Amino acid sequence: MDSIPLSTLFITLIILLILSAYFSSSETGLLSANRYRMRFLAEKGHKGAKKAEKLLKKTDILLSLILICNNLVNISASAIATIIGMRLYGDMGVAIATGALTFAMLIFAEIFPKTIAALYPEKVAFLSSHILTPLLKIFSPIVFLMNLIIRGLMKLFRVKNEQKTSSLSTEELRAIVNQSGHFIPSAHQEMLLSILDLEKVTVDDIMVPRNDIGGIDIDDDWKAIMRQLNHSAHSKVVLYKESMDENVLGILRVREAYRLMLDKNEFSKETLIRAVDEAYFIPEGTPLNAQLLNFRSKKERIGLVVDEYSDIKGLVTLEDILEEIVGEFTTSTAPSIDEEVTQQSDGSMIIEGSANIRDLNKLFDWHLDTDEARTFNGLILEHLEEIPEEGTECEINGLKITILEVADNMVKQAKVEKISPTKQPE
């Protein structure tokens, strides 16, 4: 070593610092890179992404390689710095070289390169993968030996090597969509979040209630049946005999009934019964994401929701589920939540009893309970436990509710005022 010129030692030391910076930045870049974007680029044929993804499939081997190379470089740099210090300052040179090398390595081989790698992880990861791939082949025997020793130590100390899954949970996906910013339009973000929320919503939350289902009793007078068909607000109605709960004949397409009307000789109750589609029943409590798949697999677009006793609770269509994702369609004949709520000049609002509680919660950021009741009328009746009289007042979740209209054992309209929190004495 004494015969090696100082200039050569300085050049070697600088090269070793550069190599140390490279290995430090490679570790940060590869571990910080977006795995999903890397997979996307790899599928597109990006060579650097392919190599980086292959290296990251075995993270323990990759880290072993980087640490072996980095420690080898750092130890060599420390030895050369000590030689340079002793040549220049004698025994004091050891302390001087240690301090100077520590400062230089922290700044130029650790903090600075790792900061750059954290800012540009993909560029660093893809570039490093071209160098680390052949290095892994060269150092594979040493890496294998190191991992063998590590596994033995883990068994000795009874440390379990649990492999973490790379898949994202629903909450993680929701966070990614929320943080996507300008990359995804706000309307698309809302649709993606609605899709993720489908598993939290059941058919009970969006179904048309039993009392609002369009149905025709085949035992009715023929003129009454004709009148119901001519004035039907729905494209499909439930055809039943005596009771909808006990004997559903099927789903009648009103357009098909109009076609049969053209042939007066064949238009009768019997032809109506033959023209119906078989009824499709849905158990109550079915999540919307499951029901959407069921509609697709069974080639259905409409279904009757039934409880455990086979009593009909409501009706759900494919359009109802799609509206949960993309918003309400303008062609819907049912009143929208905006039509069921009338704002007053004093800050209060008049709400129809048929208004859906989930829609009210979304519109006003309320937290009304949806476990027992689906409509605003049901919520009031559940709270009062009786049919109220007009003028009755009650308080639910910080809302003062005054009953305005009651008919057919239902609350038709109610006035709602938000109660301001009272000031507490100091």
What's the confidence (pLDDT) of residue 394?
Answer: 92
What count of residues does the chain have?
426
d(C-alpha 66, C-alpha 135), whole Å: 9
What's the confidence (pLDDT) of residue 426?
Answer: 41
Q: In Å, what is the CA distance from 341 to each residue of 101, 195, 264, 356? A: 73, 26, 45, 11
What's the confidence (pLDDT) of residue 425?
Answer: 42
Looking at the chain, the domain(s) classified CATH 3.10.580.10 span: 196-326
Which residues lie below 8 Å from residue 294, measured CB to CB, with a gap of 6+?
A: 282, 286, 300
pTM score, whole prediction: 0.55
Name the token pair of 34.
């977006």
d(C-alpha 198, C-alpha 34), whole Å: 27
Q: Which CATH architecture has domain 196-326?
A: Roll (3.10)
The secondary element (H helix, E strand) that includes residue 26 is: helix 6-32
Tell the residue number behind the tokens 């289902």, with chain if given. Answer: 213
d(C-alpha 142, C-alpha 138), whole Å: 9
Comparing CA positions, the residue from 378, 386, 364, 374 lying closest to residue 414 is 378
CATH for the stretch 337-418: 3.30.465.10
List 306's β-bridge partners, or say none: 283, 312
Dihedral over Cα of 100, 101, 105, 106: its sign: negative
Q: Report the DSSP pairing between strands 399-407 and 410-418.
A: antiparallel
Name the token pair of 419.
């109660």
Which contacts (CB < 8 Å, 24+ apart) does range 87-91 have? 87/6, 88/6
Looking at this protein, which amino acid is placed at residue 228?
Q
Looking at the chain, the domain(s) classified CATH 3.30.465.10 span: 337-418
What's the confidence (pLDDT) of residue 225?
Answer: 83
Chunked mean pLDDT (size 10), the chain, 426 residues: 83 95 94 88 91 90 92 94 91 91 94 95 94 93 89 85 64 76 75 82 86 84 83 82 85 82 71 86 91 91 89 89 75 62 88 86 83 84 89 91 90 88 46
Comparing CA positions, the residue from 374, 376, 375, 411 lying closest to residue 392 is 411
Comparing CA positions, the residue from 277, 279, 286 lying closest to residue 207 is 286
